[in-house]
Structure 1
């Protein structure tokens, strides 16, 4: 059962993410977005539960990547196409394909590097490119803004298409992005951080679209800081490597 539990959570995330497509086909985009968000939440805990139960396996890792490619690549691509991009069938489909393909390429790169010892970003506590669940969430930003404001301009495929392509290429980029391990709040602000997260949970129920939009914009605003932070860490490593070692005593 230790091996079944985390893999069952991954399978549930896969089914919920794909169910978002069904909601989008019926025009229920609110529930479609909710399905992808729930799939992202489950994706965030299945690996931790596997490590907690000491049930990590190659099968689980492969299943997780397949589930991510469908829940955060195929499902968001089709939801955005049905919501906006189908008004430009050719260019809109190209943008949807870019999102799905880049998500799969990112996951394939991740799997290929599992056994690679030299990973500069990972060893420094950073990720390479935008993670798949985050990329899916940020790609929905025009939909969040459209639902929050009621303005149809955010549904314009000429706006949505380039945005989706941009997020797609950020997912496969070589840009260093923050991971949970690289975020280390000072002890003096931990209580305030707990309060902020609690309030964020309340706002998700009170004003879900504005909250999701603000979180997406805040994440994108942090990208330059992650680049600068990693560049600083890299310079420090290069400096340490270039310093001459002390001569060993005879």
Structure 2
């Protein structure tokens, strides 16, 4: 007689609830940014989206630490990213500036949302693909979703920092929004955390630098966020050059 099989357990394991809850919180904070933008509270709107980015960076690490990775969590993370880093920043930047561009302002806002969705769809489609040259070399393909949200909000951040009224003009915000949308879906190699290797004698200095940046974010958030975003954009050409160097080295080693 064949022994009866134990019923298979379906559903989400308990250890996966914590990272999924963090992902849901990121979604909530991203949407809360829209609520603040409707009320004209721009600082709170940007802060909510930035905090959503912090939570987005934590959920994956928590899942790996608890061994709570799941396909459900990966899909929830992508849906959360589309809303928190696509829909919310687009509405914020539209209410802040793009609404003053007749007919086409909403098109630029939609471009950001669509490109975020396309980027995340491409990421999900490539999860099980083994041949990913950028990933295997420690680089990302295009600008990641949280960074894209931060970049599209850069004119608003700089405006809160400097008070320069021209930063709010549509002839500044619209082209910048289009550029960020392109970077999201581009095939450009961009730096990821795994791209950097610190030598042992540099670790203490790196910790000091991180602590100083953290203190600067608390005491002067908008200048610090503005400078971080500008530095990130300036690093993109260097990341492209670094990846080309890695690709040449691989090609030479394969001969």
TM-score bracket for the superposition, by shorter chain length: over 0.9
Match of 1:230 among 243, 246, 250: 243
> Which residue pairs with 2:110 in the alignment?
97
| CA distance in 1: counterparts of 2:137 and 2:229, whole angstroms | 24
Find the residue that maps to 1:55 and give its secondary structure.
coil
- Measured after TM superposition, the shift of residue 187 of structure 1 is 1.9
Find the residue that maps to 1:90 and give its secondary structure.
coil
Answer yes or no: is 1:183 the counterpart of 2:196: yes
| CA distance in 1: counterparts of 2:60 and 2:169, whole angstroms | 38
Gaps of 5+ in 1: 243-250
Contact 1:91 1:161 in 2 (8 A): no
Answer yes or no: is 1:7 the counterpart of 2:9: no
| CA distance in 2: counterparts of 1:223 and 1:10, whole angstroms | 28
Match of 2:78 among 46, 55, 65: 65
> Which residue pairs with 2:58 in the alignment?
45
The correspondence of residues 1-250 of structure 1 with structure 2, limited to 5 A, is: 1-242=14-255
How high is the TM-score relative to the length of structure 1? 0.95
Aligned length: 242
| CA distance in 2: counterparts of 1:91 and 1:196, whole angstroms | 42
Gaps of 5+ in 2: 1-13
| CA distance in 2: counterparts of 1:9 and 1:241, whole angstroms | 43
- Measured after TM superposition, the shift of residue 55 of structure 1 is 0.7
| CA distance in 2: counterparts of 1:147 and 1:200, whole angstroms | 19
| CA distance in 1: counterparts of 2:140 and 2:92, whole angstroms | 26
How high is the TM-score relative to the length of structure 2? 0.93
| CA distance in 1: counterparts of 2:103 and 2:211, whole angstroms | 43
Superposed CA offset, 1:156-199 (max 9, x none): 01100100110111010000011111111222222111111111
Superposed CA offset, 1:120-159 (max 9, x none): 0001111000000001101111111111111110000110
Superposed CA offset, 1:80-100 (max 9, x none): 000011001322111101111
| CA distance in 2: counterparts of 1:41 and 1:205, whole angstroms | 14
| CA distance in 2: counterparts of 1:12 and 1:129, whole angstroms | 25
